[in-house]
Structures are given as structure tokens and as C-alpha cells.
Amino acid sequence: MSRVFNFSAGPAVLPEEVLKEAAEEMMDYRGCGMSVMEMSHRSKMFQTIIGEAEADLRELMGIPDNYKVLFLQGGASQQFAMIPMNLFKNRVGDFIITGQWAKKAYQEASLYGKANAVASSADKTFSYIPDVSDLPISEDADYVYICENNTIYGTKYKTLPDTKGKTLVADLSSCFLSEPVDVSKYGLIFAGAQKNVGPAGVVIVIIREDLISEEVLPGTPTMLRYKTHADAVSLYNTPPAYGIYICGKVFQWLKKLGGLNAMKEINEKKAALLYDFLDQSKLFKGTVVKEDRSLMNVPFITGDEALDELFVKESRAAGFENLKGHRTVGGMRASIYNAMPTEGVEKLVAFMKDFEEKHAK
């Protein structure tokens, strides 16, 4: 067995010890004689798995009691519809467009009412976060929507927008559990698991109870109502049980590591290795304005497309996978989620130095 350093933007690297445990428990979960994949979701064994996962997540994030935690399916893309279907009362939503995913959420919401783009960084290929201190928030807005960490572009909000009293809804998919969050500032947080938490096929929703209502838009499917899942504690129908089990193991791993403060410290050090190198490099440079840089996704370029291509090819041969940038940004992108070992970034930087020595003019 030889593991690569996997810089994929998602699905992404998972902690090695989580995968090891999952492999060991595959045929017989803790003496119950079956795999978690084979377990009735109504069994006591699985109730314990999902119950502990929720409790650990609540502890890690300090989720207040007036918030529900839901383990759902359909990814962020399904949330783009589910949010307006459930939260639109005036059918008005204000969106801050910081990339492709925020834009998709905005477009989907416009199927159900008035979606306003109150700010955007499209003018500079989403390489920064707009000033959100005094936005033209709509008076009748049901919520203000942000994508807090932008996977493709490598930006992250360092301060939350002033929503002028409106509910804040946030996609945290690519920065979920990477640092502490004050949940009470949000009405709804959601995150696809496949970046920082577990396998694809699970989306975690943290929603303030007053936003969960019977009153949804006409034609909202039963499965797309938050109330359906909140009332049934995520067991209205068969949940993505194996994925939830893996998420639970990742929560345990984070707790052992010291929780989100400890994780943040590690992530800051890890990202600094790469950013500090980029800032003094004669060949490579980061594409994001310094103050809005993400700790999770680091896009960079050489400024020469042929050289970028060579770098991706040679890095791959050296055991660094998925460093090719998104087609809309070009160049390279290193996604360095929680589970990326510091060693992986150290080795990447060493490789970049070597490459620079050979190719810098």
C-alpha cells in the first residue's frame, strides 16, 4: 500500500486512521456481526452511530440548542432549491456572488422568486471577497446568502456580511470544521461532506428552529422540507448511513486532535507554508488578494500555461495528485483540507522549489 498526497478539491483526502478503522470494521462492526452498510437504520446500533455523530458535531461547533442538525442527501446543489422552497415567505433572497457555486444558488433561487445579486466579485474572476460592510440589503429579503469559502477561486470571508438584521444562510462546504464558527450568527449553515468531513452523498444542514416551518412553497416535495427531516431526526427515510458513519469517525478524529481551535492552528501553519513560499517565489504566484485567502484551497500559477501543464504532469509523477486548477482559473490549485498532512504541504513546497530552480528565468 502506498498513499499519494491527494490535493483534490473534493471528494478529497480523509484521515488515514479513519479509513483504517473503517476497513477493519467492514465485515463486523464492533462485534455485531455485520457491516454498517448492512445495518437497519432503525437498529439500536445505527441509532447510536448517528446519535453520537450529531452529539460530537454539536460539541465541536458549539451548536446552540435552538438549532437542528440534519444529515441529508442531494449535496449542496439540492440545497440551492431546498433553501428558497423552505425559507421564501416574501420570495426575496439577496445573494453575494463570489463564484460559481454562489451563482448557481442564486440562479436556482430565481426559479422560486426574486433573487438579487447585492454584490459580486465577477469583475476580477472572483479573486477577492467584495466589501460586505454596507450592502443594499432588500427590505423584504427572506435571507442573505453567501458561499463562505470558494473552492474554485480560493477565497474566504474573513468577516461575515452585515445582513442588516436579515437571516444569514451560508454554504460552508469547503471550510466546514476547518476552524471555529459562531453558529448563532447564521440562520442556516450547510456543507457537502465530501470536502472536509466524509464521502460524497451526505450534506449536513444546521438550521435554527424558527426557520423550520410547515409553510413551504406550494409543490415542495416531502423530502425537500426541512420539517420532514427535523421531525424524524434525519430518519424519515433510509439515510446515507455509511456516509454518516464515516463523518462520525472524522468528528471523533477532530475531537482527539483538540477540536476546532487546534484544527485552525494546524490549518494556519499548513497554509502559511504554501503562501509564504508563493509570496517570495520567482516563478509561482497566488491568484487571490492576500486578505481574502482561503486556508483550504490555494490556487497558483506560473504565468506560463505550458509551464503550468508541465508542473501538473511532473508533480503527479512525483506522487502529488489533483493539482490541476479549475478550468475557469487555470494553473494549479492545492486543496489542503483538514486531512491533508502537514508533511504533504512541506513536500509540495520542496517540489515547487526544485521546479522553480529548474524553470525560473
Asked whether the beta carbons of 215 and 86 are under 8 A apart, the reply is: no
Q: Tell me if residue 171 is catalytic.
A: yes
> How distant, in Å, are the alpha carbons of 43, 215, 306, 312 from that of 330?
48, 44, 11, 11
Residue closer to its own copies by CB (options 199, 341) is: 199
Active-site option among 195, 249, 270, 324 = 195
Q: Which of 214, 204, 99, 209 is nearest to 145 (CA)?
A: 99
Reference 155, options 106, 235, 86, 100; nearest CA is 100
Q: Toward its own copies, which CB reaches closer, 233 or 307?
A: 233
Q: What angle do CA 126, 129, 135 make, to 5 degrees?
A: 120
Catalytic-role residue among 68, 101, 142, 166: 101
**Least distance in angstroms from the C-beta of 33 to its own copies:** 3
CB of 219 to its own copies, least distance (A): 5
Is residue 140 annotated as part of the catalytic site, yes or no? Answer: no
Question: Residue holding cell 482559473?
Answer: 329
Q: Smaller CB distance to its own copies: residue 22 or 352?
A: 22
Q: How far is the CB of 126 from its own copies (least distance, A)?
A: 19
| Shortest reach from residue 74's CB to its own copies, in Å | 5
| 350 vs 356: CA distance, rounded Å | 10
Which one, 28 or 354, has the nearer CB to its own copies?
28
| Residue 278 main-chain phi, psi, to 5 deg | -60, -40
Q: How far is the CB of 227 from its own copies (least distance, A)?
A: 14
- Element counts in the chain: helices (H) and strands (E): 9, 14
Closer residue to its own copies, CB minimum distance, 104 or 359: 104
Return the closest-CA partner of residue 305 out of 291, 325, 275, 279. Answer: 325
| CB neighbour list of residue 125: distance below 8 Å, 6 or more residues apart | 153, 287, 328, 329
**269: annotated active-site residue:** no
Annotated catalytic residues are 101, 171, 195
